[in-house]
């Protein structure tokens, strides 16, 4: 072959390689096969009782049929025996789940759900009145005006602010103001016991709230939060790592962790008037703690009997 022919061959090959990706591109342009917008569900609302509502609608419409494996619809109370398993259940009264029983998809009761020891509540569980989980139960997503874990014998501590000493977040070492009443501290912070603070605090290290102290605001720490025994945070507690809410402590706002939340006995999150959310990868709750609203463990929630 002549050099000219070699050059032409080289140029032709190069052009062909460059043009090759444009062939499917051209085809897709000329005859589109995948040109719809990404689907966005205009009616999407994050409701824990979504499936229960659907089932209720199908019962009302007369299209519900009881068959093995289908969600159970119970008019009034319903009891699942020890070791029993269900895919899903809706009870218009109370729902009692025996020891070692398992709900695999969802459970909803218009009244109260009581789950005995070693029960497993996968996916969602919601109730119109309350959910009561015994020790050694595991869960993922719970929602009710009142969610109790284990025995509720421990009396809630008296929350009297009269003897608290008023302190200023701005006085914390290394504190910078992000906005009026909004502060950030680089490093770790230990708030003393029996103090009262007003304002919101962001900590780049770990935060420890002293026993019986009260914060009228939100707190966030990147490396860990401990809310001391009997302490109160009247806003949010957020953390990129673990949050420990110790014995008798109260958090009124959401508890948001990117790893774990540990609730000790007598700890309370939310109030009956203002239910809220606890969300984390893992949630470990001691017997005697309670929450109002949602308790959502993305991986695993466990109730244990604290000794």
Partner 1 sequence: MPLFFDQLFPVNAQAYPVSTPTVVLTGLLAIIVVVTAAYGLRHLLFSLDRLFGRQRHPYLDVDEAAWPALTVFIAAHNEEKVIAGCMDAILAADYPADRLKIVPVNDRSTDRTGEIIEEYRARYPGRINPFHRNGGTPGKSAALKDALSAANGQIVAIFDADYVPARGLLKQLAAPFFDPEVGAVMGRVVPANVSRNVLTRMLDLERSAGYQVDQQARMNLRLVPQFGGTVGGVRRIAMDAVGGWDASMLTEDTDMTFRLLMQGWKTVYTNRSECHEEVPEEWPVRVRQVKRWARGHNQVLARYGLRFLASPMVRARERIDGLLLLCVFVMPLALLAGWLLAVALYFLGASQVLTAFIPLLALMAYSTLGNFAAFFEIVIAVFLDGNRNRIRLLPFTLLGFFVSMAAICMAVGSALGDRVSGRGLVWDKTLRYRAPAPS
Q: Which residues bind partner 1 (CB under 8 A)?
A: 21-22, 24-25, 27-29, 32-38, 40-48, 141, 143, 176, 178-182, 184, 186, 200-202, 217-220, 235-236, 238, 253-254, 256-258, 274-277, 279, 293-294, 296, 298
Min separation Cβ 267 and partner 1, Å: 18
Q: Helices 3-19 & 22-30, crossing angle to 10 degrees? A: 40
Task: Give the pair of three-digit tokens for residue 140.
Answer: 């993922």
Which of 226/265 has CB closer to partner 1?
226
The least distance separating partner 1 from the CB of residue 305, rounded to whole angstroms, comes to: 26
263 contacts 287 by C-beta, under 8 angstroms: no
What is the spatial distance between Cα 242 and Cα 264, in angstroms, rounded to a whole number?
13
CB nearer partner 1, residue 101 or residue 143: 143
Q: Which element (helix H / strand E) includes 214?
A: strand 214-216
Q: Which lies closer to partner 1 via its Cβ, residue 47 or residue 165?
A: 47
> What is the secondary structure of 70-129 as a DSSP string?
SPEEESS-EEE-TT-EEEEEEESS-EEE-TT-EEEEEEEESSEEEE-TT-EEEEEEEESS
Q: Shortest Cβ distance from residue 280 to partner 1 (Å)?
A: 9
Q: Which is nearer to partner 1, 1 or 23 (CB)?
A: 23
**Minimum distance from CB of 92 to partner 1 (Å)?**
22
Half-sphere exposure of 81 (CA within 13 A, CB side): 0
- Which C-beta is closer to partner 1: that of 248 or that of 293? 293
For partner 1, the closer of residues 161 and 299 by Cβ is 299
CB of 198 to partner 1, least distance (A): 13
Cβ at position 138, least distance to partner 1 in Å: 17
CB of 291 within 8 A of CB of 273? no
In 3-state terms the chain splits into helix, strand, coil percentages (rounded to 5) of: 15, 45, 45
């Amino acid at each position: 072959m002549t050099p000219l022919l070699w050059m032409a061959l080289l140029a032709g090959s190069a052009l062909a390689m460059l043009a090759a990706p444009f062939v499917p591109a051209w085809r897709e342009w000329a005859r589109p096969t995948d040109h719809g917008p990404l689907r966005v569900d205009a009616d999407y609302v994050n409701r824990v009782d979504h499936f229960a509502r659907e089932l209720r609608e199908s019962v009302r419409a007369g299209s519900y049929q009881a068959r093995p494996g289908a969600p159970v619809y119970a008019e009034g109370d319903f009891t699942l025996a020890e070791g029993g398993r269900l895919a899903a259940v809706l009870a218009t009264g109370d729902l009692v789940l025996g020891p070692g029983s398992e709900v695999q998809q969802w459970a909803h009761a218009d009244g109260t759900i009581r789950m005995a020891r070693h029960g497993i509540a996968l996916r969602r569980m919601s109730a119109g009145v309350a959910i009561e989980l015994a020790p050694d139960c595991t869960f993922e997503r719970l929602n009710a005006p009142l969610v109790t874990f284990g025995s509720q014998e421990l009396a809630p501590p008296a929350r009297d602010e009269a003897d608290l000493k008023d302190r200023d977040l701005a006085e914390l070492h290394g504190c910078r103001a992000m906005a009026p009443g909004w502060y950030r501290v680089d490093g770790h912070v230990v708030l003393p016991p029996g103090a009262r603070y007003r304002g919101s605090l962001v900590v780049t290290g770990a935060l420890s709230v002293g026993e019986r102290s009260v914060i009228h605001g939100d707190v966030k720490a990147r490396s860990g939060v401990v809310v001391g025994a009997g302490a109160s945070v009247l806003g949010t507690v957020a953390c990129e790592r673990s949050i420990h809410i110790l014995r008798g402590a109260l958090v009124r706002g959401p508890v948001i962790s990117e790893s774990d939340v540990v609730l000790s006995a007598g700890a309370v999150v939310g109030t009956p008037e203002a239910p809220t959310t606890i969300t984390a990868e893992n949630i470990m709750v001691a017997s005697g703690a309670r929450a109002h609203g949602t308790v959502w463990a993305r991986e695993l929630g466990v109730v244990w009997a604290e000794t």
